Chains A and B, each alone.
Chain A
Amino acid sequence: MTLKKLLCSAAIATALATGAHAQSDGWSLAKAAEPYKGTTVDVVFLLRPGYEAIEAMLPEFEKETGIKINIIKHPYENALGEQVRDFVAGGDLDIALIDLVWIGSFAENGWIVPVDKIREQYPDIIDPDLDMADFFPLTLDAFGTWDGTVYGLPFDNYSGLMFYNACMLKDAGFDGPPETWEELKDTYGPALTKDGKYAFALQSKRNETQSADSFARVIWPFGGSFLDDNFKSNLMSEGSQAGLKFRQDLMQYMPDGIVAYDHAETVNAFAQGDVAMITEWSAFYSSVVSPDTSAVADCVEIAPEPKGPAGRKPALGGFSLAVAEQADEAEKAAAWLFIQWATSKANAKEYVERGGVSARQSVYNDEELAKSKKFIPALVESWQEGVPEFRPRFAEWPEITEIVQEWGTKMMLGEVSTEDGAKEIGTRMEEVLDAAGYYDGKKPLVQ
């Protein structure tokens, strides 16, 4: 007995000693935040479930730290403009909310602070349990890292998933979702498109949705990509063209006016039972399974996106949070404390339970959680592999996406052929890249 006790206390002592080594005098959030009490941190949030989740948890953080988080809410479409305007104006945002395609621009403009710099400048506020290796490597690389430097911690994390209405599929004689895109079009399409219902809806509105959710989603699985190794347009390649033609074909199984569908319309059509399958971000899980917003909550099942000839290349998107360079000393520290807390291992479970999608690998080992959230297996599978440059992440993306949006929708509306449209995008895209200095060696070919 005594021996056991002894061993026990020895173990505890060792644990404490190693712990003490890491945190010198017992790290706690409250203690770390002590010097920054009363600081207000300004951040832009989107009108999406992950943000509501963290907002609901916020009082706990504010109480413990005495730091006030001032949330400014915007729809996605305004969030980039809002932040760019604030940063160029030297406004008062202390945290940058970074969509993966914005990171090149934010980093090159010097609007965000590298994590290492925070570590160096404020060693006392780094949580010893930060454990960067616990983030899915793909998410940390794609959402938070630019040119080898980590700036942001993955916060609102997406993979494209296939949401399907199992009841509708069953009625049409299918036991499960399609494995490949071709199968979706050739077998599921005709069987499920009838009586005013449609097999599929691909959100394609002329904004980031067109480039990210529609255009990029069809080129990659068919072996295409935006750029080749020399940063010239790859949209005329066989793979890219096959993907774009596939999209034209698939439109016959989608609701009319799909080019006006944004996430809300698509999720809504699915939730109302008008559409049998959608490929949407993991973040919309909570709204399609909530009986308050969904008429088909009981029928919803989730699978990874279908495969194409080039394999499964699910859409990748997501947001990281980084400290803004324009914040003052106290605000920077307070901002970091919030980012670290919101993306922490310790809070991941509650975050997911409240409707967020965490990028922490550890949380998805929790069996209880995996049972209550049906999207978890598909999500984990999708994040094992994925294309970080699904959309190029360089600073030129905001200009290029405008071009893709314009001509991508023109293709869908049949105003130009996929070849002519792709050519047009290619020429214009190369002009932008040329002006930016990628072709004369002034800029490294990083996307």
Chain B
Amino acid sequence: MRRQRSTLWQLVLLAGVILLCVFPFYWMVTTSLKTQIVALEAPPVWIFEPTLDNYREALFEDGVLRTLVNSLIIAVCTTLLALLLGVPAAFALARFEFRGKKDLWFWFITNRMVSPIVLALPFFLIARNLDLLDKHITLILIYLTFNLPIVIWIVTDQFRGIPYDLDEAARLEGASQFTIMRKICLPLAMPGVAVSAIFSFIFSWNELMFGLILTRSDAKTAPAMAVSFMEGYDLPYGKIMATSTLIVIPVLIFALIASKQLVRGLTMGAVK
């Protein structure tokens, strides 16, 4: 009897949790399907005739499509670059002994914690001197400040889990460390690499402040675009929510794919 009652309670509470997590998304999507007049109705209406006009307008008239493409290019490139630089570094950190290793770790993790505004100010001035404002490459590079630490942390962890005995034979045969990494360890570390790639993508895709300050039109990212709809003279709520939906869908899909490792990624490996 008691058991059943507590199960019932558990069910109700879990349902509440699910509802609270999902409801804002429901509201976002339904608002995106409202015309401006319906969206401004007070109190808000729950049943109405949906329209896709907001999406059409946002995507094709206001150029949200282009900013989504920009975000995609930037997120993919910065992720690839972070992997290219980060995986060998992670291998070294996991397997080599060298001086200053501890300080290097410290430095990498500090980067994860630094407020972007600390870097945004000087980066803007430097980009300005080098004529790098409003270019994709600028964001691709600066996103390394948070992507590289993530890749290094997760992948190092993964490499550590690979026993030395595995490549003992190869080493005796005189294979270089690079060959060992590429041929033997990397295939085994693939899950970690994939997870770190997904994280790198999510963080880059979600980033706002650098996008806001370092781009203007050619390389403008989708979140920066969504913000620029605010404070017009008629606040197009439906369109803002349509743009928000378009921005959020890809990351949600990726996050669900990586849901099992999400916690590990967000805590940089502190929690396994």
Q: Do A and B come into direct contact in the complex, CB within 8 Å?
A: yes
| A residues neighboring B (CB under 8 Å) | 47-49, 70, 72-78, 82, 85-86, 88-91, 262-265, 267-268, 272, 283-284, 287, 292-293
Known interface pairs A85-B133, A264-B235; A72-B230 also in contact (CB < 8 Å): no
> Is there an interface contact between B233 and A284, defined as CB atoms closer than 8 Å?
yes
Question: In whole angstroms, what is the CA distance A264 to B237 when docked?
Answer: 12
Known interface pairs A268-B40, A272-B40, A293-B36; A262-B217 also in contact (CB < 8 Å): no
Which of A47, A72, A88, A283 meets B232, CB within 8 Å? A47
CB distance from B61 to the nearest CB of A (A): 11
> Is there an interface contact between A86 and B234, defined as CB atoms closer than 8 Å?
no
Question: In whole angstroms, what is the CA distance A82 to B133 when docked?
Answer: 11
Known interface pairs A85-B133, A88-B128, A91-B134; A48-B232 also in contact (CB < 8 Å): yes
Question: In whole angstroms, what is the CA distance A76 to B232 when docked?
Answer: 8
Question: In whole angstroms, what is the CA distance A70 to B217 when docked?
Answer: 10
> Is there an interface contact between B230 and A89, defined as CB atoms closer than 8 Å?
no
How many chain B residues have a CB neighbour from A under 8 Å?
21
CB distance from B166 to the nearest CB of A (A): 52
Question: In whole angstroms, what is the CA distance A39 to B42 when docked?
Answer: 49
A44 — nearest CB in chain B belongs to which residue? B216
CB distance from B3 to the nearest CB of A (A): 50
Q: Is the interface of B mostly helix, strand, loop or mixed?
A: loop
Please indicate the chain B residues that have their CB under 8 angstroms from the CB of A264 in the complex: 231-235
Question: In whole angstroms, what is the CA distance A366 to B140 when docked?
Answer: 55
Known interface pairs A72-B217, A86-B216, A89-B133; A49-B233 also in contact (CB < 8 Å): yes
> Is there an interface contact between B124 and A85, defined as CB atoms closer than 8 Å?
yes
CB distance from A65 to the nearest CB of B (A): 22
Known interface pairs A72-B217, A85-B133, A89-B133; A293-B228 also in contact (CB < 8 Å): no
Please indicate the chain A residues that have their CB under 8 angstroms from the CB of B233 in the complex: 47-49, 263-264, 267, 283-284, 287
Would you list which residues of chain B between 121 and 170 have a CB under 8 Å from chain A? 124, 127-128, 131, 133-134
Which of A72, A263, A267 meets B216, CB within 8 Å? A72
> Is there an interface contact between A75 and B216, defined as CB atoms closer than 8 Å?
no
Question: In whole angstroms, what is the CA distance A272 to B234 when docked?
Answer: 12
CB distance from B75 to the nearest CB of A (A): 23
Question: In whole angstroms, what is the CA distance A78 to B217 when docked?
Answer: 13
Q: Can you report 12 residue pairs joining A to B where beta carbons are below 8 Å apart?
A: A47-B232, A49-B233, A74-B228, A75-B228, A85-B124, A85-B133, A86-B133, A86-B216, A90-B128, A91-B134, A264-B234, A284-B233
Please indicate the chain A residues that have their CB under 8 angstroms from the CB of B40 in the complex: 268, 272
Question: In whole angstroms, what is the CA distance A160 to B226 when docked?
Answer: 30
> Is there an interface contact between A75 and B230, defined as CB atoms closer than 8 Å?
yes
> Is there an interface contact between B216 and A77, defined as CB atoms closer than 8 Å?
no
| Contact pattern, B 228-260, Cβ under 8 Å of A = 1, otherwise 0 | 111111110000000000000000000000000
| Contact pattern, B 206-218, Cβ under 8 Å of A = 1, otherwise 0 | 0000000100110
Which of A78, A88, A265 meets B228, CB within 8 Å? A78
Question: In whole angstroms, what is the CA distance A140 to B202 when docked?
Answer: 50
> Is there an interface contact between B228 and A73, defined as CB atoms closer than 8 Å?
yes
Known interface pairs A73-B228, A74-B228, A82-B216; A293-B234 also in contact (CB < 8 Å): yes
